[in-house]
Structure 1
Amino acid sequence: MGDIVLCREGYGSSRVKKNYVSTDDGRLLVVDQSPTGTTVSHFFRSVFLPQGYPESVSQDYLEYQIWDTIQAFASSITGTLAAQAVLKGVGVGDESATVLAATMTWILKDGTGMLGRIVFAWLRGSSLDCNSKRWRLFADILNDLAICIEILAPNFKSIFTPLVCTAGICKSIVGVAGGATRAALTQHQARRNNMADVSAKDGSQETLVNLAALVCNLALIPLVTGKQTLIWFLYVIFTCLHLYANYSAVKCVVMETMNQSRLNLIVKDLLDSSHIPGVKQTNHSEPVVFRTRRKLEIVLGSSVGKLCNSAKDLQDLLLLYKGMPYLLGLNIKRGEICIALSEGSTTEDQLQSCFQAEVINYVYENLYKNKTLHSSLSPMVQALEGGDVLGTLTASLAYTKSTIVAFRQGVLQQGWTVDPVLLNANEWRARWDSNGVTDKKEF
């Protein structure tokens, strides 16, 4: 009769394969069909990569993790050089140094770092999700600066403690910005509601890298101790590697959610070429070092009081935006477009209001560049040239209403998601009716 294969199975997209065979004597035989060496590679994949890789993560996962591994290794090397310098500064190896002085320095360093962490989270916490790539790179640049200060500190005995405290503040900010943005990037990479698994495996990868760096440091430290020129040479080399790897890491991330920087690029491309750019193209063009530069800054979720200077201005806005979930005001002198949201506004309303604001900014930026704009933008051009703010708002609103449905369909076809959006809206919300009555609230 011969053996009969009853079942075949495989582990995800890996090459681990098994056959379940019924033998002549009735036994169930498990036959491993995996190629040679697959078991070892499968073991390491299961230890260091999320379950279901690569289907369970975003397409940019592997490239990002490679660059992240390189930067973590470089950071571990420079961090050890800094730790050696700080220990030397507090008196390790110096017979005249006291335990009390070293302890006080360490306490002050930790204390100022804790305060810095609280203040930074208060001032910038809400923008970390919206601009996670830029803040991630900022955190790593600041970390290198802190390490530089720590290496320098022992050379300035009179101000050693203030320098170390400054470095502590920088590193505390790095901890907040780096940790928060890492969580945002992990959320982007997790495609099977497996954020915890992706985060845990990322931690395993980093631990392995740190172990490798630890072995290198054990061999390196005896060679560089007391040799300042060699220390600075290694610091420069590994810092350059660290910064390049971090820049490459954030540039390769492709996020489908819209923030103000990506929306700015999409609207510019749309108005320049009547084409909505794809997710990958826009992400690669997104600035990750500096903020998006506009002539008119966009403030979403603004207080109603910032939109107008008089009761008549407010009444004009209420009449223009009658029945709409937002009010948009333009102040050319301040270089601002402020958007007040109603209590019932949705993410779609936020996207539409920011789209209108980006259109106004685009026309304003190109007003004096002798650039031929599409005929549909002519009413806005004429209004801005004449300094007619209300006319500009009226023309931009009419253009937005005529194009917003096609815009939403276009971005969805290109792979963008419109819910949620990361447009960094403030928390002011208002109520208004046709009689011009508003009631501001802050939640």
Structure 2
Amino acid sequence: MSRTMYDIDPAGNVITTYTGTDSDKETLRSEKTKVPLAKAVFYAFLPAGFPHTVTDDYLPYQTYDSLQAFASSITSLLANRAVLEGLGVGDSSTSPTGALILKITGDTISRIATILFAHRMGQAIEPECKFYRFLADILNDSAQFLDLLTPALPYFPKLGIIVSAGVLRSLCGVAANASKASLSAHFALTGNLAELNAKEASQETIVSLLGMLVGSLVVRLVEDKQVVWVLMMVLVGVHLAMNYRAVRCVKMRTLNRQRATIVFREWLEHNTILNPDHVAQRESILTSGRGNVSSKSGEYTGFCDFGTYSDIMSWNPRGYHRYDFETNTYFLGIWHRAGNFYMRLALKEGTTSALGAWFDAVNHAYHFDSALKDGLQSHYENEMPLGYVSDEQKDSLFSALRTAGWDLNTNALETRLPIRVRVGGDGKKGM
């Protein structure tokens, strides 16, 4: 019996066509599909099986990311030329030892800054990867503007500028590398994270090469200091605009503080479930997730954070009214004064997800002004307080969120070391 068989790639494209009969293998004929050169080159820089092996926001992000990298390559050459001038390259009166000391001092302090920043902010980068990806380029551009100042400064101010620029670049490196790792994990759908990173490295290589070629022409033609500054401002503007558009395209599926608050508020107000596409259009890129919350009327605004048992029971700022209460999974403290309030959650040991506690905090904030009119104490002592949501309703909400495409298994709410409160015992594990 004669039939036709095909070899296909993960995207469903036919690689080879086979024709013949099952009984006579000698009649089997194969024909490879011809791929146009332009398409072959295009796919050399994209993950195998594109677009089915990555999320739908991968290509827009990479397009804008390549454009911002091109602009950054040119500004880097302008900044590096200024640094070399500042170190005395081409000036016979400048001591090589002095230039070396400047370089060593800057590198030493910048590496210390890398360790400190990674220790302090490392856990916050993944939940807020879009913010830190954009912040990284702001830090890098700021360092390049400082570089432009080095030729005009005497030795010690120059040392301060070089050190400051090195610190900014170190912070940029930590924020950029960690946030890009989180974004790559988001884009990879079929366990192809390593291959996706390899292809991204190829993209960056070709874009940087083009940027260096254009930048080499620019640095040769542009010598006037004022023109350099104007050109830098234009290129940095393009760089930041493209980077902003890139992270704006990303539709994260994890619920960090900002996204969770947007989703929960929409459900409380309109009983509507937002999917990652909707929330990506609403969330702010320019602010990290501090946990800003507000009441339904907007009369009261404040923020919520996670902390320890001591934070709730011992913190008593002057002029604030305080209330705290306990559930099966967490302690919650509320402080309020003149239109402002502050909320602090302390999760109990054994609580695997902070999402339920965060929903309750957003719900409390949403009904805060109405609860104040009833009196907070009597409001929360009521068996069915205003805005009460049962466990069954919350389970139904979380089930709907999973159906809408949200990843509820990844904890993106706690941006510091997760602390849990052990109730009873002597504090030792297993007791």
Q: With the length of structure 2 as denominator, give the TM-score of the two structures.
A: 0.87
Name 2:275's counterpart in structure 1: 278
Q: Report the CA distance between 1:391 and its aligned residue.
A: 3.2
Residues 344 and 93 of structure 1: CA distance in aligned 2, closer, same or farther (over 3 Å): same
User: Deviations 1:107-164 (Å, cap 9, x if unpaired)?
Assistant: 0111111011111112211110111001111111111111111112222224111001
Q: Residue in 2 aligned with 1:388?
A: 376
* 1:325 is aligned to 2:329: yes
Contact 2:61–2:246, Cα closer than 8 Å, also in 1: yes
Within 5 Å, give how 1:255-294 maps onto structure 2: 255-291=252-288, 293-294=292-293
Quick one: which amino acid aligns to residue 30 of structure 1?
S
Alignment of 1:422-437 (within 5 A): 422-424=412-414, 426-432=417-423
Q: 1:50 aligns with which of 44, 47, 54?
A: 47
**Residues 223-245 of structure 1: CA deviation (Å, up to 9, x unaligned):** 11x31122112211111110110
Mapped partners of 1:412, 1:299: distance in 2: 24
* Shift, 1:440, TM fit: 8.9
Aligned to 2:304: 298
Q: Is the 8 A contact 2:324 2:331 kept in 1?
A: no
- Alignment check: 8 A CA contact 1:276 1:414 kept: yes
Match of 1:351 in 2: 355
Match among 127, 132, 147 for residue 130 of structure 1: 127
Determine the structure 2 residue equivalent to 1:401.
391
- Distance in 2, matches of 1:386 and 1:275, equals 28
- The answer as to whether partners of 2:18 and 2:31 remain within 8 angstroms in 1 is yes
Aligned amino acid, residue 332 of structure 1: H
Query: What per-residue deviation string (whole Å, max 9, x for no partner) do you get for residues 205-227 of structure 1?
Result: 00110111111122222111x31
Contact 1:60/1:252 (CA < 8 Å) preserved in 2? Answer: yes
Matched residues in 2 for 1:25 and 1:306: separation? 77
Once residues 354 and 393 of structure 1 are traced to their aligned partners in structure 2, the CA distance between those partners, rounded to angstroms, is 20
Q: Mapping of 1:170-185 within 5 angstroms?
A: 170-185=168-183
Instruction: Spell out, residue by residue over 1:384-413, the C-alpha distance to the aligned partner (whole angstroms, 9 max, x if none).
Output: 235425734863794353631221122123
Partner Cα separation in structure 2 for residue 161 and residue 69 of structure 1: 33
What residue is the counterpart of 1:239 in the other structure?
A: 236
Letter in 1 for 2:281: H
1:414 aligns with 2:404: yes
Distance 1:173 1:400, change over 3 A: farther
Residues paired across the two proteins, number? 407
Deviation readout 1:320-374 (Å, 9 max, x if unpaired)? x2xx122222222583222122221112xx111000001122233xx3xxxxxxx
Q: Percent identity?
A: 29
SS in 2 for 1:341: strand
Contact 1:432 1:438 (C-alpha < 8 Å) held by counterparts: no
Provide the C-alpha distance between the structure 1 equivalents of 2:137 and 2:199, rounded to a whole number of angstroms: 21
Give the distance between the partners of 1:362 and 1:127, measured in 2 at CA: 26
1:26 counterpart letter in structure 2: E
Secondary structure of the residue aligned to 2:422 is strand
> Kindly tell me: are residues 396 and 135 of structure 1, through their superposed partners in 2, closer, same or farther at Cα, counting changes over 3 Å?
farther
Deviations 1:80-125, CA, capped at 9 Å, x for gaps: 1000000000000111001101100110111111011111112211
Q: Which residue of 1 aligns with 2:312?
A: 307
**Alpha-carbon distance, 1:31 to partner:** 1.7
In structure 2, the gaps of 5 or more residues are 294-300, 316-321
Distance 1:269 1:277 in 2: 7
Distance, in Å, in 2 between the alignment partners of 1:13 and 1:161 is 54
Give the superposition deviation at 1:27: 5.0
Give, in whole Å, the separation in 2 of the partners of 1:400 and 1:230: 64
**Aligned runs of 1:59-74 on 2, under 5 Å?**
59-74=56-71
Q: What CA distance in whole angstroms lies between the structure 2 residues aligned with 1:241 and 1:14?
A: 37
Unaligned runs of 5+ in 1: 368-380
Compute the displacement of 1:422 (Å).
Answer: 0.5
- In the TM superposition, residue 419 of structure 1 has moved relative to its aligned partner by 0.8
- 2:350 is paired with a residue whose SS is coil
- Indicate the SS of the match to 1:91: coil
Residue pair 1:108, 1:165 contacting (<8 A) in 2 also? yes
- 1:335 alignment partner in structure 2: 341
Q: Is the 8 A contact 2:19 2:30 kept in 1?
A: yes
1:172 deviation in Å?
Answer: 0.3
Matched residue, 2:30: 30
Shift of 1:262: 0.1
- CA distances 1:272-331 after superposition (whole Å, capped 9, x unpaired): 22212221011121111024543332222x211122249xxx99845xx2xx12222222
How far is 1:46 from its partner?
4.5
**2:139 aligned residue (133, 136, 142):** 142
Contact 2:147–2:165 (Cα < 8 Å) also in 1: yes
Q: CA deviation at 1:29?
A: 3.0
Taking a change above 3 Å as real, the CA distance of residues 228 and 40 of structure 1, as seen in their structure-2 partners, is same
Q: Secondary structure at the residue paired with 2:55? A: coil
1:195–1:271 distance in 2 versus 1, CA, 3 Å? same
| Distance 1:81-1:405 versus aligned 2 partners, 3 A rule | same
Higher mean Cα deviation, 135-144 or 388-397?
A: 388-397
Q: Does 2:192 align with 1:204?
A: no
Change (3 A) 1:150 1:282: same
Cα distance, 1:13 vs. partner?
Answer: 2.6
Q: What is the TM-score of this pair, normalised by structure 1?
A: 0.85
